[in-house]
């Protein structure tokens, strides 16, 4: 790895309003087992870097995969930054100077665990997943990496971060006649091999759920009152409001600024939504990819829009404080505004009280994913339960929830007090950069009038007690 002090010296010679160099060297292991075979067993190294230069409102960016290209990349990025000058472009420099040297705390560094031991542990999980006649295929996916990352910028920041990332995904595909049903669980974090050990019970749960779901009926399309579990509540808030809080969607759009004006009500008083990159989950960052420290940012406080997520450019252009949310998927990608650890804070109800309030409706559990266009969103639970008279009854498969962001936030009726955050081997995708490690979560939440897609067409409504 190149010496950060040398990189900082190089930056001093560049004639730019703002410039940064980011370099990473990674060593990674990926293992993928399926029911019948070892799909992948690979170990590799990756070298990535970039130089980004800002002058008079114009960004020049050059990415590379060889450390001997740093000087060339600086020349190129500088040249590209002079392609067009803008009058009255704001300066983006001198925002924060951070000198950080950090290493992930791990109990078992993955690079000290032999491939043989990794294979042994994963094979045990795969054997559990295979242990049902209804299971047609299994997927045990393991990934670890050690990345040495350096960022230097013209604000004088030097960030050195040696990070371990480790994660596991266990899934099974059950088949009964013509019905094929996948189900899986995943966990990942900036951590060591300890987070993938002793997951036998998770594998057992995956098989149990997949084999139950393949025999379960499909949910009927319609409008329902729903309780979302903490995992799905996290995906909901990530999709429904987190992306809308990313200021790059707003900062130069006058109409969006009107809609997203600070102080506007977006939900009930009980709703508090936070993004916090300092928490020790998959979205943790010691510093963002522009050298700005993350912080606890309230997006919604007591139902009111409180603040938003910023890069240095969006913060300066909107006259707001930086929040440390400029993140890039790799050192050769451009930092853009991203979430970190995003969650709904605890409310004042118990989970039992939520079921009592729901009475009849649907309880949606787990998360397969979500997507938004900043007005409408979808999120897909792993499965659902029909709820009758406040009690969970039969399991239902294949449902997708969708709605209008603003209407759905306003339709949150109650929030429980069991907030939990979740990461995973997947992550967030935006503008071609994904999956970026993030976590999301919350407590159980009760939302009224959610459109669920499933079997047939419908607009049936469920009635609360």
Residue with Cβ nearer other proteins (15 or 296): 15
Residue 404 near other proteins by CB under 8 A: yes
Q: Does 35 bind other proteins (CB under 8 A)?
A: yes
Please pick, from the candidates 1, 6, 9, 44, the single residue that binds other proteins as defined by CB under 8 A.
44
Comparing CB distances to other proteins, the nearer of 188 and 235 is 235
Binding segment for other proteins (CB under 8 A), chosen from 63-71, 140-148, 155-163, 263-271, is 63-71
Tell me the residue ranges of DSSP E strands in 17-157.
18-34, 38-55, 58-64, 99-103, 135-153
Rounded CA-CA distance 138/375 in Å is 36
* Burial degree of 142 (CB within 10 A; 0-12, 13-18, 19+): buried
Minimum gap (Å) between residue 370 Cβ and other proteins:
7
From the list 400, 448, 427, 409, the residue with the least C-alpha distance to 241 is 409
How would you classify the pairing of strands 135-153 and 420-422? Answer: unpaired
By CB under 8 A, name the one of 10, 56, 392, 455 that touches other proteins.
455
Please state, in angstroms and rounded to a whole number, the distance separating the CA atoms of residues 429 and 437: 10
Site for other proteins in 324-383 (CB under 8 A): 332, 334, 368-380
**Does residue 198 bind other proteins (CB under 8 A)?**
no
Cis amide bond preceding 435, omega within 30: yes
Residues 6+ apart with CB under 8 A from 39: 32, 33, 139
Kindly identify the residues of this chain, within the stretch 146-175, that bind other proteins according to CB under 8 A: 173, 175
Alpha helices in 13-158 (DSSP H): 70-80, 115-129
CA separation for the pair 21, 10 (Å, rounded):
10
Q: Does the protein bind other proteins through residue 88 (CB under 8 A)? A: no
Tokens (6 digits) for 261:
């004006």
Q: In this complex, which beta carbon is closest to other proteins, that of residue 307 or of residue 402?
A: 402
- In whole angstroms, how close is the CB of 216 to other proteins at the nearest point? 12
Q: Which of residues 267-326 bind other proteins (CB under 8 A)?
A: none
Count of positions on this chain that bind other proteins (CB under 8 A): 87
**Helices 4-12, 70-80: inter-axial angle, 10-degree rounding:** 30
CA 322 – CA 325 distance, rounded (Å): 8
66 is a contact residue toward other proteins (CB under 8 A): yes
Phi and psi for 171 in degrees, rounded to 5? Answer: -145, 155
Show contacts with other proteins in window 120-139 (CB under 8 A): 136-137
Q: Based on CB atoms, which residue is closest to other proteins, 51 or 436?
A: 51
**Which among 11-19, 80-88, 321-329, 341-349 is the span making contact with other proteins, rule CB under 8 A?**
80-88
Q: Which stretch binds other proteins (CB under 8 A): 263-271, 288-296, 419-427, 455-463?
A: 455-463
CB 253, min distance to other proteins, A: 5
Residues of this chain, 384-403, that bind other proteins according to CB under 8 A: 397-400, 402-403
Closer to other proteins by CB, 36 or 465: give it. Answer: 36
For other proteins, the closer CB: 44 or 352: 44
- 354 burial (CB, 10 Å; 0-12 / 13-18 / 19+) is buried
Q: Which C-beta is closer to other proteins: that of 63 or that of 188?
A: 63
List Cα–Cα distances, 55 to 12, 16, 90, 317, 320, in angstroms: 15, 6, 10, 15, 21
Query: Which of these ranges, 12-20, 36-44, 273-281, 343-351, lies near other proteins under the rule CB under 8 A?
Result: 36-44
Q: Element (H or E) spanning 112, and its range?
A: none
Say whether residue 253 binds other proteins (CB under 8 A).
Answer: yes
- Member of 97, 99, 107, 115 binding other proteins (CB under 8 A): 115
SS3 (DSSP) at 322: coil
8 near other proteins, judged by CB under 8 A = no
Instruction: Give least dist CB 334 to other proteins, A.
Output: 7
- Shortest separation between residue 240's beta carbon and other proteins, angstroms: 12
Beta carbon nearer to other proteins, 382 or 419? 382
Rounded Cα distance, 7 and 219, in Å: 57
- Cβ at position 18, least distance to other proteins in Å: 12
Gap between the terminal Cα atoms of the chain:
63
Q: 203-242 mask for other proteins (x: CB under 8 A)?
A: ------------------xxx-------------------
Point out which residues pair with 159 in neighbouring strands: 100, 151
The closest alpha carbon to 311, from 301, 299, 320, 303, belongs to 320
Binding flag, residue 75, other proteins (CB under 8 A): no
Those residues whose C-beta lies under 8 Å from the C-beta of residue 269, and which sit 6 or more positions away, are: 302, 303
Residue 435 makes contact with other proteins by CB under 8 A = no
The Cα 415–Cα 379 span in angstroms is: 18
Task: Dump strand ranges (E) for 361-438.
Answer: 361-365, 369-372, 376-380, 383-388, 391-396, 400-404, 412-415, 420-422, 428-430, 433-436
Q: Which is nearer to other proteins, 197 or 257 (CB)?
A: 257
CB of 139 to other proteins, least distance (A): 10
């Amino acid at each position: 790895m190149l010496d950060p002090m040398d990189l900082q010296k190089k930056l001093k010679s560049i004639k730019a309003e703002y410039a940064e160099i980011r370099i990473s060297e990674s060593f990674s292991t990926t293992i993928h087992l399926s029911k019948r075979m070892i799909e992948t067993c690979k170990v590799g190294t990756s070298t990535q870097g970039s130089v980004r230069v800002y002058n008079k409102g114009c960004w020049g960016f050059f990415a590379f995969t060889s450390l001997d290209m740093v000087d060339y990349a600086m020349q190129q990025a500088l040249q590209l930054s002079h392609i067009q000058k803008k009058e009255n472009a704001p300066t983006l420099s001198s925002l924060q100077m951070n000198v950080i040297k950090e290493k992930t705390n791990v109990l078992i560094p993955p690079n000290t665990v032999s491939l043989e031991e990794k294979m042994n542990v994963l094979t045990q999980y795969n054997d559990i997943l295979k242990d049902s006649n209804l299971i047609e295929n299994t997927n045990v996916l393991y990934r670890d990496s050690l990345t040495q990352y350096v960022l230097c910028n013209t604000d004088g920041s030097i960030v050195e971060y040696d990070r371990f990332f480790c994660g596991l995904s266990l899934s099974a595909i059950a088949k009964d006649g013509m019905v094929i049903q996948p189900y899986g669980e995943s966990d990942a974090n900036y951590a060591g091999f300890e987070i993938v050990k002793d997951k036998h019970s998770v594998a057992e749960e995956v098989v149990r759920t997949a084999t139950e779901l393949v025999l379960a009926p499909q949910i009927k399309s319609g409008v329902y009152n729903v309780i979302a579990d903490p995992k799905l509540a996290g995906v909901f808030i990530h999709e429904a409001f987190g992306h809308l809080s990313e200021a790059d969607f707003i900062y130069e759009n006058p109409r969006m600024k009107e809609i997203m004006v600070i102080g506007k009500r977006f939900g009930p008083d009980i709703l508090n939504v936070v993004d916090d990159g300092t928490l020790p989950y998959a979205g943790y960052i010691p510093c963002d990819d522009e050298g700005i420290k993350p912080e606890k940012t309230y997006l919604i406080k007591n139902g009111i829009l409180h603040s938003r997520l910023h890069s240095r450019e969006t913060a300066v252009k909107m006259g707001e404080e930086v929040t440390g949310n400029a993140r890039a998927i790799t050192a050769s990608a451009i930092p853009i505004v991203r979430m970190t650890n995003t969650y709904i804070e605890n409310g004042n109800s118990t989970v039992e009280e939520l079921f009592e309030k729901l009475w009849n409706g649907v309880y949606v559990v787990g998360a397969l994913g979500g997507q938004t266009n900043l007005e409408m969103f979808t999120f897909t639970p792993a499965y659902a339960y029909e709820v009758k008279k406040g009690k969970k009854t039969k399991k239902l498969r294949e449902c997708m929830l969708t709605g209008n962001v603003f209407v759905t936030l306003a339709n949150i009726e109650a929030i429980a007090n069991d907030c939990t955050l979740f990461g995973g081997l997947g992550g967030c995708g935006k503008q071609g950069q994904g999956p970026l490690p993030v976590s999301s979560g919350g407590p159980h939440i009760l939302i009224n009038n959610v459109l669920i897609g499933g079997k047939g067409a419908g607009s049936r409504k469920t009635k609360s007690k």
